[in-house]
Chains A and B, each alone.
Chain A
Amino acid sequence: MDEKDLTLLRLLEENCRTPVSDLAVMAELSEQDTEDRISRLEETGTIRCYAAIVDWKRAGNSNVAAVIELKVSPERDLGYDRIAERIARFPQVRSLRLMTGAYDLQVLVTGSSMHEIARFVAEQIAPMDRIRETATHIIMKTYKENGITFAERGEVERLPYSF
């Protein structure tokens, strides 16, 4: 991993559809070298996938998302890993993180309705061994996701010419 790799990662994270020819010019590499580096980053799992960031609300989707805080009793030798692995397997779970502070695991869940999420938590998550407490917070509005702001700001006026 060198500065050139970091440049490629930044560019791909920003827009994974940037043509290789442009990536090569910007990173000051040959096209072949650029392709080789990207392949290596894919193979090593540094690049996990190429995905779009979607504002689902604009797509007419009325899905509901919730953040669930879990207090968990860790297992001897394994800590939180085994229970985290079990929770991560549910397709409803969009992201899962171990946190410092008042609770342990933070789960981001999506579902088609509040009811569905409530049922998922009540029937799948809460009864699991070692889950001591759950708190479910429904997401009301997303302002920014993965560095992308959803609200549109007006164009800033700039003079067409200035010295």
Chain B
Amino acid sequence: MRDFVSARAHAIPPSGIRKFFDIAQTMKDVISLGVGEPDFATPWCVCEASIYSIEQGSTAYTSNKGTPQLRGAISRYLDDRFGIRYDADEEIIVTCGVSEAADIAIRAVVDPGDEVLVAEPCYVSYTPCVSLAGGIPVTVPCRAEDEFRLTADALAECITPQTKVLITNFPNNPTGGVMEEADWRAVADLLVDHDLLLISDEVYAELTYDHDHFAPASIPELYERTITLNGFSKAFAMTGWRIGYLCAPPEISAAALKIHQYVALCAPVMGQVAAYEALRAGEEEKDAMVREYRLRRNLFVDGLNKLGLSCHLPRGAFYAFPSVESTGMADDEFAEALLREQHVAVVPGGVLGPSGAGHVRCAYAVSRDDLKEALARIRIFLESRS
């Protein structure tokens, strides 16, 4: 029998953490800092609204682009919160999580042979999605010495005549780095000069600790060349509901909608009801979660630095990204030994991009007690090696 798996599917590298996953499955007392999701339960008002809608029989398809109520609420929210205006009917598509939004955004704009810049370290899906669309992913480094911002210099070095798109994710998974207005303005000129499109994944926009998030599409010159991606998973602790959204000028939205309607039809209706309720009534609980993440960040980053694992203060998302170079170990070696010996799960930074090498990603989306226990175990781990 011939090999039925496509060359494209073959070309996708296997997950960089499969090995760690298998080891962790054999242990009972793992403290996992390896997660990419909040530990909070979804606000009860959100769950309750969704349960009620199911009881009322609301279980059918919705409009491809999502319910008008939810799109309207998203449009108002983006304007109020980040000063970006997207028309609820023409420019917003509700998707099955930001993962789907990223995929259809890429497929809507990338042709075979187009070079797509991906600011790394970053979430793992962008590069494979570019490859699946026939594009050529090119990574742009965001370095520790710049607090993991994307700089105009680093970007300029990677632009060629074939470059069409830049994909960014700020506040950043895995570094916790953020881009402020001045940082974006420096990059904006290059995007305009080279006529590039920006795909900006802002799923951590609500999780910032020092300044409010700055949305690049709020810069008028960038609006027409930006696809803004966002969702409910991180801000409202709704990872399992699978609700994200894509916002772009009408021509790009229309193209993305054609793909969305064939691959997903629509996002789950119960999730859309829940997301609407999150925007309507979830702000207080969201703010309480952000406050709690900030306390945990302070506690955990202070603890890491005291242990000699130097860590910049992450200003967004819920990840600390300490350097493990002082231990003499490579990041994947450190992550595997820490898991085997002390049952603490972290993600080796190299898995998330070459600039992540020498670092590990630690999610502080776990209780403060678990963070303290993790620090105690890391201390034992380090002492056993010194």
Contact = CB atoms under 8 A, between A and B. Distances in A.
Interface in B244-297: 291, 295-296
Contacts of A163: 36, 123-125, 173, 347, 352
A162 B30 contact: no
A162 B16 CA distance: 11
A31 to B, nearest CB: 12
B347 A25 contact: no
B355 to A, nearest CB: 16
Given A7-B295, A25-B302, A26-B298, A160 B35 contact: yes
B25 interface: yes
A11 B30 CA distance: 26
A161 B20 contact: yes
- Categorize the interface residue count of chain B: 20 to 34
B299 interface: yes
Contact of B295 (A26, A156, A158, A160): A26
B43 interface: no
B34 A25 contact: no
Interface string B8-42: 00000000010011001100001010111101010
Interface in B347-369: 347, 352
B345 interface: yes
Contacts of B347: 161, 163
Given A22-B299, A158-B35, A160-B32, 17 more contacts: A10-B291, A25-B298, A25-B299, A26-B298, A27-B295, A27-B298, A28-B298, A158-B37, A159-B35, A160-B34, A161-B17, A161-B21, A161-B24, A162-B35, A163-B36, A163-B173, A163-B352
A152 B2 CA distance: 54
Contacts of B37: 158, 162
Contacts of A159: 21, 35
Interface string A69-99: 0000000000000000000000000000000
A158 B25 contact: no
B32 A158 contact: yes
Interface in A144-163: 156, 158-163
A66 B381 CA distance: 53
Nearest to B16: A163
Contacts of B173: 163
Interface of B: 17, 20-21, 24-25, 30, 32, 34-37, 39, 41, 123-125, 173, 291, 295-296, 298-299, 302, 345, 347, 352
Contacts of A28: 298
Q: Name, among A25, A27, A156, A160, the residue most crowded by chain B CB atoms within 10 Å (CB to CB).
A: A160
B298 A160 contact: no
Contact of B30 (A10, A26, A156, A160): A160
B41 A156 contact: yes
Q: Name, among A7, A26, A28, A156, the residue most crowded by chain B CB atoms within 10 Å (CB to CB).
A: A26
B309 to A, nearest CB: 16
A158 B352 CA distance: 21
Contact of A160 (B41, B291, B345): B345
A156 B347 CA distance: 21
A26 to B, nearest CB: 4
B32 A161 contact: yes
A9 to B, nearest CB: 12
Q: Name, among B21, B123, B295, the residue most crowded by chain A CB atoms within 10 Å (CB to CB).
A: B295
Contacts of B125: 163
A161 B36 CA distance: 7
A156 B298 CA distance: 26
Nearest to A28: B298
